[in-house]
Chains A and B, each alone.
Chain A
Amino acid sequence: MELLNLARQAILMPAGIQDGDIEKIMNRLLSSSVDAADIYFQSSHTESWVMEGGIIKEGSHNIEQGAGVRAVSGEKTGFAYSDRIELPVLLEAANNVKAIVRQGQNAQVGLVKAANWPLYYPVINPLKSLTDQQKIDLLRQVESETRQLDRRIEEVIVSLTGAHESILVANQDGSLAADVRPLVRMNVTVIVKDNSRREQGSMGGGGRSDYSYFIEQDRALEYGKEAVRQALVNLEADEAPAGNMTVVLGPGWPGILLHEAIGHGLEGDFNRKGTSAFSGRVGERVASGLCTVVDDGTLPGRRGSLSIDDEGTPAEKTVLIENGILKGYMQDKLNARLMGVKPTGNGRRESYANLPMPRMTNTYMLAGSHNPEEIIKSVKKGLYAKNFAGGQVDITSGKFVFSASEAYLIENGKITRAVKGATLIGNGPDVLSKVSMVGTDLELDSGVGTCGKDGQSVPVGVGQPTLKIDGLTVGGTSV
Chain B
Amino acid sequence: MQNQQEIKRLENTIQDLLDEAKKQGASAAEAGLSQENGLSVTARLGDVETIEHHCDQGLGITVYFGQRKGSASTTDFSQESLKETVSAACSIARYTSEDSFAGLPEKELLATEFPDLELNHPWSISTDEAIALAIECEDAARSYHAEISNSEGASVNTHQGIRVMGNSLGFLHGYASTRHSLSCSVLAQRGDSMQRDYWYTVSRNSAALEPPVEVGKKAAERALRRLEGRSLSTRQCPVLYSAETASGLLGSLIGAISGGNLYRKSSFLLGALDTQIFPEFIHIHEQPYLRGALGSAAYDGEGVATKTRDIVSDGILRSYVLSTYSARKLSLHSTGNAGGVHNLTITPGTFDYQEMLKQINTGLLVTELMGQGVNMVNGDYSRGAAGFWVENGEIQYPVEEITIAGNLKDMFKNIIAVGNDVDYRGNIRTGSILIERMSIAGE
Contact = CB atoms under 8 A, between A and B. Distances in A.
Interface of A: 49, 52, 55-66, 75-84, 93, 96-97, 99-100, 132-133, 135-136, 154-155, 157, 191, 193, 197-200, 240, 242-244, 273-275, 277, 353, 355, 389-397, 399-403, 420-423, 425-427, 473-479
A83 B55 contact: yes
A401 B265 contact: no
Contacts, number: 244
Given A473-B443, A477-B439, A401 B384 contact: yes
Given A63-B73, A275-B150, A396 B195 contact: yes
Contacts of B442: 243-244, 473
B196 A76 contact: no
A399 B370 contact: yes
Nearest to B127: A99
A270 to B, nearest CB: 9
Contact of B75 (A49, A83, A399): A83
B248 interface: no
Contacts of A395: 196
A97 B89 CA distance: 37
A391 B370 CA distance: 8
Contact of A191 (B85, B377, B386): B377
28 contacts: A49-B95, A55-B97, A59-B95, A59-B96, A61-B72, A64-B74, A65-B76, A77-B49, A79-B52, A83-B57, A100-B51, A132-B91, A135-B95, A392-B372, A396-B187, A397-B194, A397-B226, A397-B229, A397-B400, A399-B384, A421-B382, A423-B371, A425-B370, A425-B401, A475-B441, A477-B382, A479-B234, A479-B439
Contacts of B330: none
Contacts of B81: 63
A62 B74 contact: yes
A234 to B, nearest CB: 9
A475 B266 contact: no
Interface of B is mostly: strand
A275 B148 CA distance: 12
Nearest to B374: A403
B50 A55 contact: no
A467 B381 CA distance: 26
A423 B405 contact: yes
A478 B236 CA distance: 10
B304 interface: no
A257 to B, nearest CB: 12
A403 B97 CA distance: 36
B196 A397 contact: yes
Contacts of A59: 70-71, 92-93, 95-96
B72 A60 contact: yes
Interface of B: 44, 47-58, 69-76, 81, 84-85, 88-89, 91-99, 127, 150, 152, 187, 194-196, 226, 229, 231, 234-236, 264-266, 370-373, 375, 377-378, 380-384, 386, 400-407, 439-443
A285 B442 CA distance: 26
A3 B54 CA distance: 29
Nearest to B372: A390
Given A353-B54, A473-B441, A100 B48 contact: yes
B52 A355 contact: yes
B403 A475 contact: yes
B95 A136 contact: yes
Contacts of B99: 55, 57
Interface of A is mostly: strand
Contacts of B370: 392-394, 399-401, 425
A79 B229 CA distance: 38
Contacts of B55: 80-83
A36 to B, nearest CB: 13
Contact of B48 (A76, A193, A275, A477): A76
A396 B196 contact: yes
A274 B196 CA distance: 12
Nearest to B386: A399
Given A83-B57, A353-B54, A60 B264 contact: no
Contacts of B70: 59-60
Q: Give the interface centre of B187, B235, B383, B401 by most chain A CB atoms within 10 Å.
A: B401
A290 to B, nearest CB: 23
A401 B404 CA distance: 12
Contact of A396 (B69, B95, B127, B194): B194
B439 A476 contact: yes
A402 B380 CA distance: 15
Contacts of B439: 242, 475-479
A421 B380 contact: yes
Contacts of A394: 196, 370
Contact of B382 (A80, A244, A475): A475
A64 B440 CA distance: 46
Contact of A76 (B49, B93, B403): B49
A150 B52 CA distance: 53
A57 B371 CA distance: 31
Contacts of B93: 59
A425 B403 contact: yes
B384 A392 contact: yes
Given A56-B95, A396-B196, A425 B384 contact: yes
Nearest to A240: B382
Given A353-B56, A389-B373, A473-B401, 17 more contacts: A60-B89, A65-B76, A66-B75, A77-B50, A132-B92, A136-B95, A199-B377, A199-B378, A275-B150, A355-B52, A396-B195, A397-B195, A421-B380, A422-B382, A423-B371, A473-B442, A476-B405
Contacts of B377: 191, 198-200
A198 B266 contact: yes
Q: Which 5 A-B pairs have the closest CB atoms?
A: A475-B403, A401-B384, A55-B97, A396-B196, A242-B441
Contacts of A64: 58, 74-75
Contacts of A200: 266, 377
Contact of A63 (B75, B94, B372): B75
B257 to A, nearest CB: 16
Contacts of B84: 63
A437 to B, nearest CB: 22
Contacts of A197: 378
Nearest to A352: B75
A56 B51 CA distance: 45
Contact of B49 (A75, A473, A475): A75
Q: Give the interface centre of B127, B229, B370, B402 by most chain A CB atoms within 10 Å.
A: B370
Nearest to B67: A55
B265 A273 contact: no
Given A401-B371, A426-B401, A477 B443 contact: no
A274 B149 CA distance: 10
A100 B39 CA distance: 13
B401 A58 contact: no
Contacts of A476: 382, 405, 439, 441
Q: Give the interface centre of B49, B52, B187, B407 by most chain A CB atoms within 10 Å.
A: B52
B265 A191 contact: yes
A445 B264 CA distance: 28
A401 B371 CA distance: 6
Contacts of A420: 375, 378, 380
A79 B75 contact: no
A198 B49 CA distance: 50
A52 B263 CA distance: 11
B441 A243 contact: yes
